[in-house]
Amino acid sequence: MKNAIKYMVGCLWLFCLACSDWLDVQPKSQVKEEDLFASESGFRDALIGIYALMGLPETYGGNSTMGFVDVLAQTYSSVATAYNKAMVYDYQDETVKSVVDTMWSSNYYAIANCNYLLSNIVANGEVMNESLRSLIEGEALALRAFLHFDLLRGYAPSYKMGKDEPAIPYVREITNAPVAQSTVSQVLEYILEDLEKAKELLEPIDPMGPSFTDYTEEDEYGADDYITDDGFWLYRKSRLNYYGVVALMARVYLYKEDMSNALTAALEVIHSGRFEFITDQIVADESRDYSFVESMGRHEYISSLYVYDLKKGRSELFFKDLSTYTCVMNAERKSSIFESIGLDLDMRSKRLFAIPSGSQTEYVCKYETGTQIPLLKLSEMYLIAAEASGDISYLETLRSYRGYATQPLPADADLQQELRKEYQKEFIAEGQLFYYYKRQNLTSIPFTSQTMNRDVYVFPVPDNELEFGDFK
């Protein structure tokens, strides 16, 4: 893995982040590793730096969520020229190839930073108090698992397709030697090991966890809230908190077809009482201070990425006339996804699309306001619970909150078919739908005549990785 090695030995620039608060971070200067990890603040900077890297347009701030991966899912009816070849799965096109290669390198780059952070916790962790050390180590392990899981979902066969086939390298240390591929099953076990350890570390100390009865994401905190670690313990929904780890475990177990553990994890989040579906009343009560999307984030997001320039630097890159990618869901496609009854009833159809000033085209407006890109949401836990248990009532609960309270599913509704419909509606511009299709190993998906097979579902590993790495 020549490039992955390069990411490991050259990643310290990301650790050089100065923070006016623990969400708004931008690179400022280069700091030597031994200086950075000589204090608690250095460890905090290093962790926040990994989230900042993930928020770039090349990864979860764009192509891994609202951009490239949702183009592959046929979410959009048309895109700008830069994405045309992606719509037909031409991974050899130079533009598409560049996107695929960058997603690989960016995730391994972030993983390298996780490993640097974890190694320095071992070497210098005594400079932190015990709680802070547990929090940072837990989040770093969870991030490493999260990043590897998306590499697995993209660049390897699905579990259903080939659980014993070679997958990706699971990189858990800083090394100059190529790391061999593990199988799909092995990678999933490594991911779950990291998540179990993260859960154990976070459970007793995370304010967004079962050891604390109250937690708030209010904008106004008292001065005392900022005394401890400069406010580092605030805004837990904008990072991988305890329940974010559990939610990710539910997602991973479902991918692994371990329905029992998937259901247990999903229900732990659902029954935690920390998250709730928004209602018309909540939206009305908060409309003075928050947009619809911001209210959804406050109540339903389990973990998200904070992006300080979300509208200008992300939304307008993908959803605007003459923007770089110009991703459009036209009226026909929107009608097909939401169906005639949903166009008028479904709050997502009514609230998550808008026509910008001076335009005649309707675009997704999910990222026009606020600062959060969702990574894990309450709605997904209900979908996982429904699929893992076979109990359609979890799906009915989600649908009722989305606007279908007076329109229940028929008694003979097919659960799998209804789940597919709901994934199409719920994860628009979030990068989850393509991986749902892949997990199910569907040979055909809506809005394309392309036969969905291994060549489509498995992204090509970058050429230089194949040349210099340890790939079979």
Residue 429 gets the label, from left (phi > 0), alpha (psi -120 to 50) or beta, of left
Q: What is the pTM of this model?
A: 0.92
**Whole-number Å distance between alpha carbons of 69 and 66:** 7
pLDDT of residue 268: 98
> Could you give the count of Cα atoms lying within 13 Å of 65 in the half-sphere of its Cβ?
26
Residue 222 located in a structural domain: no
Which helix (H) or strand (E) segment holds residue 129: the answer is: none
pLDDT of residue 465: 83
Tokens of 419: 């789940």
Residue 205 located in a structural domain: yes
Cα-Cα-Cα-Cα dihedral sign, residues 245, 136, 431, 284: positive
Collapsing DSSP to helix, strand or coil, 355 comes out as coil
- 428: pLDDT strictly greater than 50: yes
Average pLDDT value over all residues in the chain: 90
Mean pLDDT, range 286-292, rounded to an integer: 95
Which helix (H) or strand (E) segment holds residue 369: the answer is: none
Residue 223 located in a structural domain: no
Render the burial of 362-393: b for 16+ CB within 10 Å, e for the rest.
bbbbbbbbbbbbbbbbbbbbbbbbbbbbeebe
Residue 96 located in a structural domain: yes
**Whole-number Å distance between alpha carbons of 325 and 83:** 7
Domain region containing 452: 2-214+233-468
Cβ-based neighbours of 13, under 8 Å, separated by 6 or more? 27, 30
Let me know if 251 is exposed, middle or buried by CB neighbors in 10 A (0-12, 13-18, 19+). Answer: buried
Count of structural domains within the chain? 1
User: Comparing C-alpha atoms, which of 462, 442, 463 is closest to residue 452?
Assistant: 442
What percentage of the chain exceeds 70 in pLDDT?
Answer: 88
Let me know if 173 is exposed, middle or buried by CB neighbors in 10 A (0-12, 13-18, 19+). Answer: exposed
- 169: pLDDT strictly greater than 70: yes
Tens of pLDDT, residues 5-15: 343 434 444 44
Tens of pLDDT, residues 202-244: 999 999 999 987 766 654 444 444 335 567 888 899 999 999 9
Residue 82 located in a structural domain: yes
Measure CA of the first residue to CA of the last residue in the chain; give whole Å: 12
pLDDT of residue 212: 84
Residue 100 located in a structural domain: yes
Confidence of residue 24 (pLDDT cuts 50, 70, 90): very low
Tens of pLDDT, residues 382-425: 999 999 999 999 999 999 999 999 999 999 999 999 999 999 99
Residue 204 located in a structural domain: yes
Mean pLDDT, range 273-282, rounded to an integer: 96
**Whole-number Å distance between alpha carbons of 208 and 218:** 14
Mean pLDDT, range 286-298, rounded to an integer: 95
The domain that holds 177 is classified in CATH as 1.25.40.390
Contact by Cβ (8 Å): 460, 168: no
pLDDT of residue 409: 96
pLDDT of residue 23: 38
pLDDT of residue 251: 98
Pairs from 392-399 (Cβ < 8 Å, separation ≥ 24): 392/418, 395/419, 395/422, 398/277, 398/422, 398/426
Pairs from 353-362 (Cβ < 8 Å, separation ≥ 24): 353/329, 356/320, 356/321, 358/321, 359/320, 359/321, 361/321, 361/328, 362/328, 362/329, 362/331, 362/334
Collapsing DSSP to helix, strand or coil, 98 comes out as helix
Within 10 Å of residue 274's Cβ, how many Cβ atoms? 21
What are the two backbone dihedrals, phi and then psi, of residue 461, each rounded to the nearest 5 degrees? -70, 140
Confidence of residue 379 (pLDDT cuts 50, 70, 90): very high
Tokens of 187: 């990678």
